[in-house]
């Protein structure tokens, strides 16, 4: 009998953890919720609800791969558990995998034929897949595709006399221009599309000539420093705050923005034009890495595409997609610090030379990055890895005995996570990482995801 009592007490304890996890989830403490659901699962791994709930918490942290694994486990335990299909379908959608999502919503409809919500989501999903098939059918094969950049001559675009915004005189982007442009953006004024074209095209030219892995020298002198920022996600007013706290980018005050500049936040265009303009002003004042949101499939879903279409034009949607393919994949600071958006690779034994030889000029594959920190550092004679990509309550997290730092620079992410933002200042000569955290600042009343795919809003 004691064994049965033991099982009972384990089940009761697991339920307690689930209740605590649900409370944490309601309070938007998703990482804590995941830990508590994990404890429940460790005590009772045959409960599909725990797995599906943890899947939902993973989705909230944008850990879609983990969400799909957990939801699949829930389905394996109980093939008739509707929430398992719902959670997995939502995670597939979030990754832009519409066809996989469709299968899950079809199954959901079979299990809950009279549920109006399931019917609505299935209809939307069918629409998205039809649209995707249509786009695939009419798209020009990659090999035959002409670069849109080659067909644009910004010099032929007239600027109307009544335009009172920032202007670029000739070919040179000056600090005065960038300051005036940022000030206009702050007051919700737009930049003339002639100058927007000029900035994006000049940035493209610069990025095209860079290797996939960029080495950055940091002078040894005292007082020299280098700042690394994580995801900004279209939070323009928080970007201005970073510059307020840490100074504007310049050769003496260089920055690296480690991917995910756009999407979700509804001022993504302002963010990307500001970062690109600084790059044009002084290539060594700012370095830019590609994140998973610098891709067509993500921009289609999470708002950047809709925002660019609304604020500029369809041609710019194509142009940004092209330029994002030119962004380098990673950076090495002073030969010692490896900075990459997502983290390390799922395969072992990767050398920096492997990364250098990647042909990056394409849309990113869906599989990739993570783990094996110590060995990677030893193999490549490095001291530290810096990554971004994940929301952290304090804006950063230090793991693997101090060898891995995650930095995230979008505070109160999506106006609801309540997290701090952070950036890292590396101080010469020893490149000691100094982490600065900051809180969100107010922004005009335009909600995150304002330009996003309607379909996704149904799930948020």
- The SS3 of residue 388 is coil
Q: Reading across the β-sheet that carries 404-407, which strands appear in turn?
A: 213-216, 330-333, 337-340, 384-387, 404-407, 396-399
Question: Would you kindly state where each structural domain of the chain is located, as residue ranges?
Answer: 2-138, 149-457
Query: pLDDT-derived band of residue 369, with 50, 70 and 90 as boundaries?
Result: very low
Distance CA 166, CA 173 (A): 11
Residue 371 has pLDDT above 60, yes or no: no
**149-457 CATH fold:** Purple Acid Phosphatase; chain A, domain 2 (3.60.21)
DSSP state, 135? H
Give the SS3 label for residue 249. Answer: coil
Please, which pLDDT band fits residue 368 given cuts at 50, 70 and 90? very low
Among residues 58, 225, 233, 293, the one annotated as catalytic is: 293
Q: What is the pLDDT of residues 112-131, one digit of tens each?
A: 999 888 888 888 888 878 88
Predicted confidence band at 319 (pLDDT cuts at 50, 70, 90)? Answer: very high
pLDDT greater than 80 at residue 207: yes
331 is a catalytic site residue: no
Domain spanning 2-138: CATH superfamily: Tetratricopeptide repeat domain (1.25.40.10)
Confidence of residue 374 (pLDDT cuts 50, 70, 90): confident
Q: How confident is the model at residue 359 (pLDDT cuts 50, 70, 90)?
A: confident
Per-residue pLDDT tens digits for 262-305: 999 999 999 999 999 999 999 999 999 999 999 998 998 899 99
pTM: 0.91
Q: What is residue 208's predicted lDDT score, i.e. its pLDDT?
A: 96
Residue 459 banded pLDDT, cuts 50, 70, 90:
low
Q: Report the alpha-carbon distance of residue 460 to residue 452 in Å, rounded.
A: 11
Of 154, 256, 279, 102, nearest to 208 (Cα)? 279
Q: Give the SS3 label for residue 204.
A: helix
Question: Does the CA dihedral 35-301-122-28 come out positive or negative?
Answer: positive
Q: How confident is the model at residue 367 (pLDDT cuts 50, 70, 90)?
A: very low
Predicted pLDDT at 142: 67
407-434: pLDDT as tens digits = 999 999 999 899 999 999 999 888 999 9
pLDDT of residue 256: 98
User: Residues 136-165: what's their mean pLDDT?
Assistant: 86
SS3 labels along the chain: CHHHHHHHHHHHHHHHHHHHHHHHHHCCCHHHHHHHHHHHHHHCCCCHHHHHHHHHHHHHCCCHHHHHHHHHHHHHHCCCCHHHHHHHHHHHHHCCCHHHHHHHHHHHHHHCCCCHHHHHHHHHHHHHHHHHHHHHHHCCCHHHCCCCHHHCCHHHCCCCCCCCCCCCCCCCCCHHHHHHHHHHHHCCCCCCHHHHHHHHHHHHHHHHCCCCEEEECCCCCCCCEEEEECECCCCHHHHHHHHHHHCCCCCCCCEEECCCCCCCCCCHHHHHHHHHHHHHHCCCCEEECCCCCCCHHHHHHHCHHHHHHHHCCHHHHHHHHHHHCCCCCEEEECCCEEEECCCCECCCCCCHHHHHCCCCCCCCCCCCECCCHHHHHHHCCCCEEEECCCCCCCCEEEECCCCEEEEECCCCHHHCCCCCEEEEEEECCCCEEEEEEECCCCCCCCCCCCCCCHHHHCCC
């Amino acid at each position: 009998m004691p064994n049965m009592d033991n099982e009972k007490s384990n089940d009761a304890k697991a339920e307690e953890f689930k209740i605590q996890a649900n409370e944490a989830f309601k309070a938007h403490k998703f990482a804590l919720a995941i830990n508590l659901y994990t404890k429940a699962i460790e005590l009772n791994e045959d409960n599909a609800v725990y797995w599906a709930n943890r899947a939902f918490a993973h989705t909230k942290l944008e850990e879609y791969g983990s969400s799909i694994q957990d939801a699949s486990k829930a389905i394996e335990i109980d093939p008739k558990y509707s929430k398992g299909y719902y959670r997995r379908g939502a995670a597939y959608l979030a990754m832009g995998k519409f066809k996989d999502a469709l299968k899950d919503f079809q199954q959901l409809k079979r299990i809950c034929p009279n549920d109006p919500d399931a019917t609505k989501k299935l209809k939307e999903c069918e629409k998205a897949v039809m649209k995707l098939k249509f786009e695939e059918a009419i798209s020009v094969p990659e090999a035959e595709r002409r670069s849109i950049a080659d067909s644009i001559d910004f010099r032929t675009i007239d600027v109307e006399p009544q335009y009172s915004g920032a202007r670029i005189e000739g070919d040179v982007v000056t600090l005065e221009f960038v300051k005036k442009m940022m000030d206009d953006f702050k007051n919700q004024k737009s930049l003339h599309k002639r100058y927007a074209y000029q900035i994006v095209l000049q940035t493209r030219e610069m990025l095209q000539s860079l290797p996939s892995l960029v080495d950055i020298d940091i002078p040894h002198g005292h007082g020299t420093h280098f700042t690394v920022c994580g995801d900004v996600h279209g939070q323009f007013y928080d970007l201005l705050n970073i510059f307020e706290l840490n100074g504007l980018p310049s050769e003496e005050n260089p920055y690296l923005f480690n991917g995910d500049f756009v999407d979700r936040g509804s001022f993504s265009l302002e963010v990307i034009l500001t970062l690109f303009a600084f790059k044009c002003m002084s290539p060594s004042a700012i370095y830019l890495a590609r994140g998973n949101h610098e891709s067509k499939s993500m921009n289609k879903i999470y708002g950047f595409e809709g925002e660019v279409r609304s604020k500029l034009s369809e041609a710019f949607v194509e142009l940004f997609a092209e330029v994002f393919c030119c962004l380098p994949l990673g950076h090495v600071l002073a030969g010692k610090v490896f900075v990459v958006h997502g983290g390390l690779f799922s395969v072992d034994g990767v050398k920096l030379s492997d990364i250098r030889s990647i042909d990056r000029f394409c849309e990113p594959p869906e599989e990739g990055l993570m783990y094996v920190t110590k060995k990677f550092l030893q193999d490549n004679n490095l001291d530290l890895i810096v990554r971004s990509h994940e929301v952290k309550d304090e804006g950063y997290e230090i793991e693997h005995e101090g060898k891995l730092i995650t930095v995230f620079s979008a505070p109160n992410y999506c106006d609801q996570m309540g997290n701090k933002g952070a950036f890292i200042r590396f101080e010469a000569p020893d490149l000691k990482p100094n982490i600065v955290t900051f809180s969100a600042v107010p922004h005009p009343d335009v909600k995150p995801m304002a330009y996003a795919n309607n379909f996704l809003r149904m799930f948020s």
